[in-house]
Amino acid sequence: MMSSHHNPHVVLFPFMSKGHTIPLLQLARLLLLRRGVALTIFTTPANRPFFSKSLSDVVDAISLIDLPFPENIPGVPPGIESTDKLPSMSLFPAFAAATKLMKPHFERALNALPPVSFMITDGFLGWTLDSANNLGIPRLVYFGMSYFSSVVSRSVTSAGLILKPNGDDEAFTVPDFPWLSVTRNDFDAPFRDREPKGPLFDFVTEQMVATVNSHGLVMNSFCDLEHVYMEFYNRNLVPKSWPVGPFCLAEPRRKPPPENQEKPSYIKWLDGFHEQGKQVLYVAFGSQAEISPEQLREIKVGLEESEVNFLWVVRTHESELDGFEDRVKNRGLLVREWVDQREILGHPSVNGFVSHCGWNSVLESICAAVPIAAWPMMAEQHLNARMVVEEMKIGVRVESCNGSVRGFVKSESVEKAVRELMEGEIGKSARKKVKELSNSAINAIKEGGSSWLKLDELINEFHAKMKKNPDM
């Protein structure tokens, strides 16, 4: 990799979690579309194979550097270097704190690189701000959140409203957006706690302080998707943000495999339904959500009773389902392996998505023009679900039995949501709206589109500063 003051040199450092890594690897592709941009990406030894495979067609244009992951960390099992391998998400604070021990290795590696125009590091790696300041490199932050969830969270917490309702499901109005109502249950710990404290609260606070003191925020979004919330953010909050997504559209469509190489079994299964002219529902809740055995049983019954065709991605420990697979074998498939979600959503047979509403999944569904049955599980997913159903109107909500956004969902609600999405009038309307948004997303990322221009603006702004100050 060649770099000079005449060419921008960008450093990317994703957090060690698939949901954080994948979008930054997609952003790497967007950066490589800019002629002359040199790119360095940091990872760890155990994560490197995933990076190399994901970027196999462009790996020669990238410098990929391994940093040793800390060993003998209390609470973190040996050999684990990614959160999706943790036996429980209760170990997350210990895992995240351990990444700070990578700092001296990171700084030594940065010192050995050609001059860096700017770095984009994950919001969970707040300690990289100190490294960036030590070496005179502007740090920009990537958080895998929408503008909507970001500004609604800030609006509610800054007004102290999240602490006022007596009940967790008592609705109140968002001050800066009076057309929106939310509940305490729409927010995850530690934001919803009346007296927030503990390792997770300390970690989140530390990352927020580091973000505010960084040079900018890179957003996986685009102007037409959430213009009102983007404008509010850039008028009222810091640091400055650049909407340059959807990142996933930078990935090339998977080419058909050579004749001597088989397609994945789940794609061949979808092909069969497409040949019959039948629609399929995709069901996936991400790699981090922890679903109880009781809730899994209700999902199983709801899908079985709905009579829709479905492909359900489950984790190994969730897959003992009492003969369920035999009963639905003619119209349902359970997949226990890592899947290419974009390939599934882009398959012509897939016409609906039961999703936890992680922001990556929402964007991938929009780009594939597939409507969503929203079933949030954790983090800011409950706010994303409100955006999907109430703001964008590209889906339906999977309702709990007691009306709480965090309540238990009975099989009847699963069946109702699935049928409405795949066959009902709301589903038809959502399908039309998501198609419009899909077209807007494609246009945003094209040369001359809003996201294309914003990324150019970002690169030019920070590279120009470096050229003025070669010692950065």
Same domain, 299 and 413: yes
Confidence of residue 358 (pLDDT cuts 50, 70, 90): very high
* Secondary element (H or E) of residue 274: helix 265-275
Predicted pLDDT of residue 231: 97
Same domain, 436 and 354: yes
Predicted pLDDT of residue 2: 43
Q: What is the pLDDT of residues 396-437, one digit of tens each?
A: 999 999 999 999 999 999 999 999 999 999 999 999 999 999
Q: What is the pLDDT of residues 124-156, one digit of tens each?
A: 999 999 999 999 999 999 999 999 999 999 999
Asked whether the beta carbons of 116 and 139 are under 8 A apart, the reply is no
Specify if 179 maps to a domain.
Answer: no
Specify if 83 maps to a domain.
Answer: yes
Same domain, 244 and 301: no
- State yes or no: pLDDT of 464 exceeds 50: yes
Q: How far is CA 166 from CA 105, 171, 183, 378, in A?
A: 48, 10, 11, 22
Asked whether the beta carbons of 375 and 355 are under 8 A apart, the reply is yes
pTM value?
Answer: 0.94
- State yes or no: pLDDT of 287 exceeds 90: no
Same domain, 210 and 279: no
Same domain, 217 and 329: no
353: nearest Cα among 420, 305, 421, 289: 421
Enclosing domain of residue 226: 9-148+186-250+443-468
On average, the pLDDT of the chain sits at: 92
154: nearest Cα among 210, 215, 229, 244: 229
Burial of 178 (0-12, 13-18, 19+ CB in 10 A): exposed
159: nearest Cα among 147, 148, 172: 172
Confidence of residue 167 (pLDDT cuts 50, 70, 90): confident
Same domain, 32 and 85: yes
Same domain, 35 and 101: yes
Asked whether the beta carbons of 395 and 389 are under 8 A apart, the reply is yes
Specify if 172 maps to a domain.
Answer: no
Tokens for 90, please give them.
């209760």
Same domain, 77 and 143: yes
Specify if 219 maps to a domain.
Answer: yes
Confidence of residue 1 (pLDDT cuts 50, 70, 90): very low
Predicted pLDDT of residue 471: 57
Same domain, 425 and 310: yes
Same domain, 113 and 128: yes
Q: What is the pLDDT of residues 433-449, one digit of tens each?
A: 999 999 999 999 999 99
Return d(Cα 382, Cα 328) in angstroms, integer: 30
Q: What is the pLDDT of residues 93-135, one digit of tens each?
A: 999 999 999 999 999 999 999 999 999 999 999 999 999 999 9
Specify if 411 maps to a domain.
Answer: yes
Tokens for 423, please give them.
């066959």
Predicted pLDDT of residue 130: 98
Q: Is the preceding peptide bond at 376 cis, omega within 30 degrees of 0?
A: no
Specify if 3 maps to a domain.
Answer: no
- State yes or no: pLDDT of 163 exceeds 50: yes
Same domain, 280 and 321: yes
Q: pLDDT over 90 for what percent of the chain?
A: 80
Helix, strand, coil fractions of the chain, as percent rounded to 5: 45, 15, 40
Same domain, 448 and 436: no
CATH code of the domain in which 43 resides: 3.40.50.2000
Specify if 168 maps to a domain.
Answer: no
Structural domain tally of the chain? Answer: 2
Asked whether the beta carbons of 421 and 355 are under 8 A apart, the reply is no
- State yes or no: pLDDT of 201 exceeds 80: yes
Q: What is the pLDDT of residues 16-69, one digit of tens each?
A: 999 999 999 999 999 999 988 999 999 999 999 999 999 999 999 999 999 999
The residues, any chain, with a CB within 8 Å of residue 277's CB and separated by 6 or more, are none
Specify if 175 maps to a domain.
Answer: no
Q: How far is CA 170 from CA 158, 404, 433, 461, in A?
A: 19, 9, 30, 45
Q: How far is CA 97 from CA 70, 100, 376, in A?
A: 10, 6, 26
